[in-house]
A and B are shown apart, each in its own frame.
Chain A
Amino acid sequence: MIEVLNLRKTFHDRKKGDIPAVRDISFVCSPGHVFGLLGRNGAGKTTTLRMLATILAPTSGTARIDGFDVNDHAGDVRKRIGYLSGDTKLYDRLTGRELLEYFGQLTGMASSAISSRIAELKGSFGLGDFLDKRVGKMSTGMKQRLSLARVVLHDPPVLIFDEPTSGLDVLGAREVLKIVRDLKAKGRTIIFSTHIMTEAERICDEIAIIERGSILAQGTVESLQRENGGGSLEDVFVKTVGEVNGDA
C-alpha cells in the first residue's frame, strides 16, 4: 500500500531562489493495483518517486509505504520497495550474476537466499543466456531485463517504476509492461510514471495527471475520459494540461 499525503518538495537555487517541484500532492495505491503518474518532462514525476523511494526527503507532507513513514522510517521503507528508473544504468564491469548478488547483499539477503532467487529469476526473466556475461557487453534489452530482475530480487511488496520503458524499442517496452502486469497479478503495489499515453492506458488502474508539481486530475482511465467529454487519454491529457497552461 502507498499512501501519499500533501507531499511537497522545494529545491533551493542560489540564483533562482525556491523552486517548487512537487506541490502538496496526495493519492493512494492499493496492493494489486498499478497507479500511473502521467506528466510531461519536468512535471514532478521523478521527484515524487524519488521521495517515495527515500532518495530525496520531502520538504513537507509525508508518504507511508507498506505502513512505514518515508520521513521517520526510511530504512524500513527501502527494505519494502523495488525502484527502477528508465535512465538508471548498471555496473558495466560486473557480470549479471555478480550484480544481482551485490544488490541482494545490499538488501540484506542471505547468500543461500540470493542464489536460489537468482536461479528462480533466471527462468522467469529469461536471464539464462547472459547471466554470466559482463553487463557492458549486454544489449539494451538484456540490461533492462536484468534491471527488472534486480528490482524484484528481494521480492518487495511495493514497486516504483520511473519511466521504465525509456529508451527501449517496441518489443523491449512490451516485455517490460508484461512483467509489470505479472507483478500486479501477484498482488504487488505498483506506481508507474510515464509520458506515453498508450502505456498508461494499457496497464494503469488509476492515473494522476501531474503538471508543474500538482495533480490536476485523478481517476480511472474511463472516469477521466467521462469527465472530459470522451476522447482518448491523450485528448484528456492535452486538455487538462492545456487548461492549466492557458492554451486549451
Chain B
Amino acid sequence: MTHRSWAVCRKELRDALRDGRTIIAVFVIPFVLYPGLMLFMGWIESQNKKEESTLQVRVGVVGEAQLPAVRERLQGVGGVSVVPLERAPASMEDARVDAVLVLPPGIQPAIARGDSVKVELLYKDADHKSSAAEERTRPVLDDVRRALIVLWAQSHGAQVNQPPAISVEHRDVSSKAETGRFIAALVIPYILVFMVAAGSMHIAIDTTTGEKERSTLETLLSTSTSRGELVLGKCMAVITTALTAGFIGIFGLWFNLTVLAGLMPALSGQSLQLTIRPDQALFIFLTVLPTAIFLGAALVAIGCFARSMREGQTYATYVYMAAVFLGLGSFRQVGAPPIGRFTIPILNTALLQREILTDTVVPIHAIVAIGMSAAMAAVMLVIATRLFSNESVLFRT
C-alpha cells in the first residue's frame, strides 16, 4: 500500500461521505432500516398471535356419540365451536368447518377384538385458520387417546372409569441469553454478508464507472500514479465502507433487539440478549476481512468493466444477490458442515462465523475458509487491476 494509494482511498472516502446515497447505504439502512424492519416483523408476528388467540374456529366431529367426553372437552377449548358430522366431508369449505376429528365407526367392538383403531384429525396446513383449529384441537387428541385406553382396559375386565393422570409435555428451558446466542449465530453471519455487499455496492460503482460517466477518468489516468495504485486505493475505500456497513449493521441489530426492544413495552416480547465476546468479535472481523476484500475487488472489477452507472449497478445487483443467497446457505445448516462448503466464498465465511459464535470452531474449517477467501480476494484484486489497466475495457463504448 503506497502513499498514493492512501491518497486515493482518503479522497474516495471523503467523496463518499459527502454523498447522501453512501450515508444511507452505510449508516441509515444497516442501523435503522434492516434492524427496524426485523423488529417490526417481530411485532407483526406477535400481533398475529394475539389475533389468532381470539379467532373463532369450527371443528367438525365425526362419530362423536362413541366418545361423548371428546365433544365436551372440545367445547371447553376457547374459540372452538363443535359441529357434529355424519361422515368426513369431501370439502371442509362446503361443510363450513376448519378441521375435522374423525372417530371411526365401531370403536368399542374393534378395541374389544384387539383391532387397531385410527382416529384422524383432518386440517389444511396451507390455511391459517385451519392450522389454528388443528393447534387448538391437538391437546384434545391426548384426551381421545386416554379415553380409548380406558375403553381398552374395560374390554380386558379392568374396573376403571377415569384415565390415569399422566401427561407428557414439552417446555423450552432456554434462557434469554441462550436464545440470544442462538439467534446471533443464525442471523449475524447472514446480516454481515448482507451488509458488506450492500455497503460496498454503491461506492464501488461510483469510484469506477462514476469516473467514466463524470469524465474524470482521463485526468486520473494521466497522473503519475500507476493503475495498480489507483485500483488499490479505490478497493481500500470500498472495503472500508463495506466493513463499516457490516459492523454498523451488527451494532444496529444489537441496539434494536437488546436495548430498544427492552425499553419499549410493546416490543419487550421481542427483546433478546445478543452478546458477542471480544474474542469472538475479533475472530469475526478476521473472517469478514478477506470476504470484504473479495466482494470489494469484485465490485470494483465490475465497475471498471461497466460502461455506465446503470450497467454497473445492474451487474453489482447480481453480485449482491449471489452474496445474499450464499449467505442464506448458512441459515439451514444443521450440525458440522462438510469441508467442501468451506471452499465456497461468502458461504464459507458465514459458516465459519456461526462456528465462532457457537464456540464450535474446527481448525481445518477456519484454515480452509480464510485461506480460500484470501486467495479469491487476491485473484479479484488482480482482475480488477488488469481491467483498470486495459484501455479496451476502460474506453469501450
Identify the A interface with B (CB < 8 A): 11-12, 50, 53-57, 75, 78-79, 81, 83-85, 87-94, 98, 102-103, 105-108, 150, 160
Q: Do residues A91 and B15 form an inter-chain contact, with CB atoms below 8 A?
A: yes
Interface-central residue, B216, B224, B225, B226, by most chain A CB under 10 Å: B224
Answer yes or no: B375 CB below 8 A from chain A CBs: no
Instruction: Give chain A residues whose Cβ lies under 8 Å from the Cβ of B113.
Output: none
Bound-state Cα–Cα, A108 to B223, Å: 9
Within the complex, the shortest CB–CB distance from A237 to chain B, in Å, comes to 26
Give the residues in chain B near A12, CB-CB below 8 Å: 392
Residue B183 is within 8 A (CB to CB) of chain A in the complex = no
Q: Do B15 and A83 have beta carbons less than 8 Å apart?
A: no
User: Which residues of the other chain, A, contact B218 by a CB distance below 8 angstroms?
Assistant: 50, 53, 55, 83, 85, 88
Beta-carbon contacts under 8 Å, B195-253 to A: 214-216, 218-226
Minimum CB–CB distance from A187 to chain B (whole Å) comes to 21
Nearest-CB distance from B18 to chain A (Å)?
4
Write out the residue numbers on chain B whose beta carbons fall within 8 Å of the beta carbon of A75: 224, 226
A170 CB to closest chain B CB (Å) equals 23
Contacts of B14 in A (CB 8 A): 93-94, 98
Residues of B within 8 A of A94 (CB): 11, 14-15
Question: Interface readout for B19-45 with A: 1 if CB under 8 Å, 0 if not?
Answer: 100000000000000000000000000
Enumerate chain A residues within 8 angstroms of B220, measured Cβ to Cβ: 106
Taking a contact as CB atoms under 8 Å apart, the answer to whether B219 and A150 are in contact is yes
Q: Could you tell me if A90 and B216 are in contact, using CB atoms closer than 8 angstroms?
A: yes
Number of B interface residues at 8 Å Cβ cutoff, please give it: 24
List 20 additional A-B contacts (Cβ < 8 Å) besides A50-B218, A89-B216: A12-B392, A53-B221, A55-B218, A55-B391, A78-B223, A81-B222, A83-B218, A83-B219, A87-B215, A88-B216, A88-B219, A90-B219, A91-B11, A93-B18, A103-B219, A105-B4, A106-B220, A107-B224, A107-B225, A108-B4
Q: How far is the CA of A90 from the CA of B218 in the complex (A)?
A: 11
B389 CB → nearest A CB, Å: 10
- Asked if A106 contacts B7 (CB within 8 A), the reply is yes
Q: How far is the CA of A83 from the CA of B222 in the complex (A)?
A: 7
A213 to B146, CA, bound (A): 98
* Chain A proximity of B61: nearest CB distance (Å): 72
Residue of A nearest to B6 (CB): A105
Question: Do the beta carbons of B216 and A91 come within 8 Å of each other?
Answer: yes
Q: Mark B101-143, 1 if CB is under 8 A from A, else 0.
A: 0000000000000000000000000000000000000000000
Measured CA separation A72–B229 after assembly (Å): 19
Do the beta carbons of A54 and B222 come within 8 Å of each other? yes
A137 to B298, CA, bound (A): 33
Q: Which of B221, B223, B225, B226 has the most CB of A within 10 A?
A: B223
13 cross-chain CB contacts under 8 A: A54-B222, A55-B222, A78-B224, A81-B222, A85-B218, A88-B218, A88-B219, A89-B214, A92-B214, A93-B19, A106-B7, A106-B224, A160-B222
Q: B8: CB under 8 A from chain A?
A: yes
10 nearest CB pairs, A to B? A105-B7, A83-B222, A106-B223, A78-B224, A93-B18, A79-B224, A89-B215, A53-B222, A106-B225, A55-B221
Contacts of B18 in A (CB 8 A): 93
Which of B11, B14, B214 counts the most chain A CB atoms within 10 A? B11
- A185 to chain B minimum Cβ distance, whole angstroms, is 24
- Select from chain B the residue with minimum beta-carbon distance to A94: B15
Cβ of B3 within 8 Å of any chain A Cβ, yes or no, is yes
Question: Of all chain B residues, which has the CB nearest A76?
Answer: B224
Rounded to whole angstroms, the CA-CA distance of A160 and B219 in the bound complex is 11
Contacts of B19 in A (CB 8 A): 93
Min CB–CB distance B6 → chain A (angstroms): 9
Cα A79 to Cα B225 in complex, Å, equals: 9
**CB-CB contacts of B302-345 with A at 8 A, as 1s and 0s?**
00000000000000000000000000000000000000000000
**A90 smallest CB distance to B (angstroms):** 7
Chain A residues within an 8 Å CB radius of B221:
53-55
Q: How far is the CB of A109 from chain B (nearest CB, A)?
A: 10
Q: How far is the CB of B379 from chain A (nearest CB, A)?
A: 25
- B217–chain A nearest beta-carbon distance, Å: 9
Residues from chain B with Cβ under 8 Å of A89 in the complex: 214-216
Chain B residues positioned under 8 Å from A92 (CB to CB): 214
Chain B residue contacts of A78, Cβ below 8 A: 222-224
Contact with A along B238-274 (1 / 0, CB 8 A): 0000000000000000000000000000000000000
B395 at the interface (CB under 8 A from A): yes
